Amino acid sequence: MATVVRTYEPGYWDKFYLPAIARGLLLTLVRMFRRKDTIPYPDIKYVPADGYRGLHRLNKDEDGRIKCVACEMCQTACPAHCIDIVPEPAPWDDGGEERHPAKFEIDLLKCIFCGFCELACPKDAIELTEIYDYASFSRDDLIIDREGLLKVYDITSMGNIYERQNRGESIQIDTGNL
């Protein structure tokens, strides 16, 4: 069935443009008193919803040791092949975990932030955090290493960093390379 497209024919008052201007000003006036959809970033940081999948961290246990046992399950589950783990015997000899990662790197430029690594981990050792505002001029800087991932744990384990920054706390996202 054919679609009839009618051309716009301005009415008598439309030719004065005044009704359209009045409608536009009224719309502006109404919007002025509505809740703003924008925020003055970076003075105020956007706080993502719970479950947001941002920069990764490696968790520590109650003794401050890395929880990761270098089982490589996250590396196997990662669809982007951006996790690189090299295991080694754990340095502690007290009946705890026998392995830990000598190297644990994530290429953030390849990562698609799917969260599969977090789901695959049997030790609750890797977790995606709320952090979204990291950047670099160098590709190499966007490969985060074990120490960087542990630093992310240190700055995020005391609560959402953007809520804390919005309360006036000074928190630098310094994860080594980033």
The region of 12-20, 77-85, 140-148, 160-168 touching ligand SF4 under the rule CB under 6 A is 77-85
SS3 49: coil
Q: Cβ-count burial of 2 within 10 angstroms (0-12 exposed, 13-18 middle, 19+ buried)?
A: exposed
Q: Which of 45, 57, 105, 117 binds ligand SF4 (CB under 6 A)?
A: 117
Q: 83 with 106: CB under 8 angstroms?
A: yes
Distance CA 73, CA 57 (A): 16
The span from the CA of 77 to the CA of 173, in Å, is 27
Per-residue string for binding with ligand SF4, 126-145, x by CB under 6 A?
x-------------------
Of residues 74 and 150, the one with the C-beta less far from ligand SF4 = 74
* Residue choice 47, 52, 84, 123 for contact with ligand SF4 (CB under 6 A): 123
Q: Which of 45, 57, 71, 144 binds ligand SF4 (CB under 6 A)?
A: 71
Nearest to 127 by CA among 68, 76, 171: 68
Q: Which residues bind ligand SF4 (CB under 6 A)?
A: 68-74, 77-80, 82-83, 85, 106, 111-117, 120-121, 123, 125-126
